[in-house]
Amino acid sequence: MCALPETRQTVSSAGSAGDPWSWQEYEHPGTLVPKLGEPFGPFDSLLDVGGGGGTVGLGVWRVSSIYVLDTFPPKTTPKNFRLGDALDLVKLYGAKSFDIAQCAEVIEHLPKEKGPLLLAALEAVAKRLVIITTPNGFSEQDPALSPHEPWADNPYQKHLCGYTPEEFAERGYSILLNGGPGIGAQIIAWKDVRPKSADTPTVAAVTPRQPTHQTRARQGRPPWAGRRKPARG
């Protein structure tokens, strides 16, 4: 198990001195996210909310069963796929039904007031771990403005809001900024939802790669934008 460096970068989501959020140079979330999840395993089941064709869940986690929920039908339907509303997870699957509830690049596609409802649904359906990714701040994306993108036929691909690390930390999530400390990086937020007891160990995060002077706050549209088919309430 790895721990974060003792010296954190004291850079806020706006790129100025403020709350300390651990950050690292950009690493593809397909390899980074499982590292963050390893201390909570082993896992048997994962629910990929807004997973589209299921490529993210299938590609990065070593679990026996992967289920995918989306509100828009993918071009290739994965095993255990279901059309449905992300806010109805408990109704659709039952409480505490999956070891992991993953929601990658989805929450920014919902109206801001529905964000807490999505987090509550994820936390209710997961037995061990909830993990979320989203751009740091608002990143514009609209199918109407990108007609040649492969996701342009999905009306839910429009970004409706943005988030800061503080909003997840206030709800008890651990935070890592993937790609630098500034606006445009990727927020990775994860929460241990196992029942707390005297025997439950305290789990630290994966060690980020050491930032260098070449690290820059990522600007504009992040590289992962447009690769998800989000679930929306």
- The dotted CATH code for 23-192 is 3.40.50.150
This prediction has a pTM of: 0.76
Three-state SS for 196? coil
Residues 6+ apart with CB under 8 A from 119: 107, 130, 132, 171
Domain coordinates of the chain in residue numbers?
A: 23-192
User: pLDDT by residue for the chain (233 residues), tens digit each?
Assistant: 233 322 233 333 333 334 568 999 999 888 888 888 889 988 999 999 998 877 666 567 888 899 999 998 888 888 899 999 999 999 999 999 999 999 999 999 999 999 999 999 999 999 999 999 999 999 888 888 888 888 788 887 889 999 999 999 999 999 999 998 888 899 999 999 999 865 555 544 444 444 433 333 333 444 444 444 445 54
